[in-house]
Amino acid sequence: MLKHLGLTLFLIVATSCQTTLVRNSIKSVSDRIGITNNGSADQEKSEAETSKNRTQIVFKDREEVTIDNLPGYIMGADRVDVSSYRSRQPEPRAKTVPKTLLSDVDVNISSVLKNIANYLTDGIEDPFLQVKTLHDWVALTIAYDAKSYLSGTIPSQEVASVIDRKTAVCDGYAELLNELLKAADYKSIKISGYARGHGSSIFDNSLPDTSNHAWNAVFIDSNWYLIDSTWDSGHLDGRSFKRRYTTDYLFIDPQYMIFTHFPDSSRLQFLEIPVTADNYTNLPFIRGRFFNMGLIPIEGLSRVNTVQDRVSMKYRSPEGLTFSGILLSQEGKKIENRILIQNEDELMDFQVTFPGRGEWAVRLFAGTEGSGSKEWIADIGFQAESGTDDVFPKLYSPFFDCQSVIVSPEFGPLLVGDKQEIVIILPGYFEAFAKAGTAKYPMERDSEHDQFSVEIVIPKASEVTIFARRTARNRKFEGILSFPIKLD
């Protein structure tokens, strides 16, 4: 359904893991909902159909096996619900490995790995919890070697060196976890491929034909589960590593991993219908945190989507989540007052207006209500065919915290001399007023719907700001939002 020369889309919370999700997500949608995809979307080709070569998995002891013949391998086998493991804090045991277990890394690395694995898994019967504990120790113990990565001079990534330095790049993380898993008697492989990590741009449409990352797959309960302990340990912040433990890439479903990780072999996607390089390039940038919050991608949304001067999307999300977003130019400059996200009839209503023709990136953030913080979950690109002067009000933290809704006006800027009715739903608030310059305008409250309204003639001022307080006893009014005023 087209809206305001833009586009309305829908995103629904995942209730089951469908292997068709990724395939559907990269279909051309120009015939269905009016978006033109930039880049190839050849659905019928698959690397599995065009290549008879089988991937060789090379283990530490140089044993070579094919992924097809690996004992127990079943493509498309039923997967265990791993959501409980992906929502846990670090396992306490991962923080208490005695230093004495690490002292002989240069003498007998096999014995050291076995002792670490035994310590971390002893007494734990659940195989998924065992693997999570091993993952946690790697993510908490090893720091990303930002200095070496940025300089281009990478030291040895052998397991003994990584444990001794306690730093590594992705290959060292993956190699260490791979050897720990094998020491704990799990079938494990290290996967090489391309990943949309540091320095990636949504406007880059080059094919993933060069390996730049490494991660793991572990075999548990008749299936393979993907893990990226590097990305779960933290991230680069400028030129330094910022440690931040997550489970965003622990046991992540293959249909979600493919949005960021493209293995050298299509077999290691662990998808019934492998995604081609062209189709991978055309996927939007969606991070592991997005899926860990219980969201699934909008079907048909691409890396860059052609629209007119705006886009509108509606999606249903789990209770307790709040969202925000920023609009970025192709050069990475933040454009103010161009994104509005609010609740509307049990859906999140997401709107963007574009200031001009060209390529723009929408960066989305999400967090839990009351947490006071949000995390980066996705980048979506748009090619705007035209621009508009319509902007949204500047929104402050209380707007998101109380799930506010702007009823009117839909857009700004407000014009001097115009008579304007301002209507806002502010759940949980007792009193509100509008302020423009030195003038204050009390707002009438409809207590049944927590709706506040006022009609004013827009004065000569820079903005109209809405303030509100939650109780009569609370003397402090909080800034909710500000509408810009156009003086000319």
* Widest CA span in the chain: 82
In terms of C-beta distances under 8 Å and separation of at least 24 residues, what long-range contacts does 475-478 make, across chains too?
Answer: 477/431, 477/433, 478/396, 478/398
Q: Please give the pLDDT value at position 2.
A: 31
In this structure, are 450 and 361 located in the same domain? no
In this structure, are 244 and 196 located in the same domain? yes
For residues 101 and 437, give the distance between their C-alpha atoms in angstroms, rounded to a whole number. Answer: 67
pLDDT at 477 over 50: yes
Q: Please give the pLDDT value at position 111.
A: 92
Q: Please give the pLDDT value at position 342.
A: 85
Answer with the one of 240, 275, 310 that is the final residue of a domain. 275
pLDDT at 484 over 60: yes
Answer with the one of 275, 295, 329 that is the final residue of a domain. 275
What DSSP letter does each residue of 322-387 carry, written as one string? Answer: EEEEEEEETT--EETT-EEEEEETTEEEEEEE-SSSEEEEEEEEEEETTSS--EEEEEEEEEESS-
Q: pLDDT, tens digit, for every residue of 9-62?
A: 433 333 333 333 443 433 332 322 223 333 332 323 333 333 333 233 332 332
In this structure, are 38 and 11 located in the same domain? yes
In this structure, are 434 and 419 located in the same domain? yes
Q: In this structure, what DSSP letter does residue 31 have?
A: H
Q: What is the mean pLDDT of residues 64-68?
A: 43
In this structure, are 296 and 436 located in the same domain? no
Q: pLDDT, tens digit, for every residue of 343-391?
A: 766 688 899 999 999 999 999 999 887 777 889 999 999 999 999 999 9
Q: pLDDT, tens digit, for every residue of 112-158?
A: 999 999 999 999 999 999 999 999 999 999 999 999 999 999 999 99
Q: pLDDT, tens digit, for every residue of 258-286?
A: 999 999 999 999 998 999 999 999 999 99
In this structure, are 321 and 365 located in the same domain? yes
In this structure, are 75 and 223 located in the same domain? yes
* Residue-number span of the structural domain to which 478 is assigned: 393-488
Residue 78 pLDDT class (50, 70, 90 cuts): confident
Residue 409: cis peptide before it, omega within 30 degrees of 0: yes
Residue owning tokens 């506040």: 452
Give the C-alpha distances (Å, rounded to integers) separating 101 from 75, 97, 139. 38, 7, 18
Number of domains in the chain: 3
For residues 212 and 270, give the distance between their C-alpha atoms in angstroms, rounded to a whole number. Answer: 20
In this structure, are 217 and 126 located in the same domain? yes
Q: Where are the beta strands (DSSP E) in 155-257?
A: 167-168, 188-195, 213-220, 223-227, 234-237, 240-243, 250-252
Answer with the one of 388, 410, 433 that is the final residue of a domain. 388
In this structure, are 188 and 211 located in the same domain? yes
In this structure, are 135 and 251 located in the same domain? yes
End-to-end CA distance of the chain: 35
Write the CATH number for 82: 3.10.620
In this structure, are 399 and 378 located in the same domain? no
Q: Please give the pLDDT value at position 77.
A: 59
In this structure, are 355 and 405 located in the same domain? no
Q: Please give the pLDDT value at position 311.
A: 94
For residues 177 and 117, give the distance between their C-alpha atoms in angstroms, rounded to a whole number. Answer: 10
Q: Tokens for 102, please give them.
A: 């690490």
Compare 196 and 60 and report the one with higher pLDDT: 196
Which region among 4-13, 36-45, 217-226, 422-431 has the lowest average model confidence (pLDDT)?
Answer: 36-45
Q: pLDDT, tens digit, for every residue of 398-415?
A: 888 777 899 999 889 999
Write the CATH number for 430: 2.60.40.10
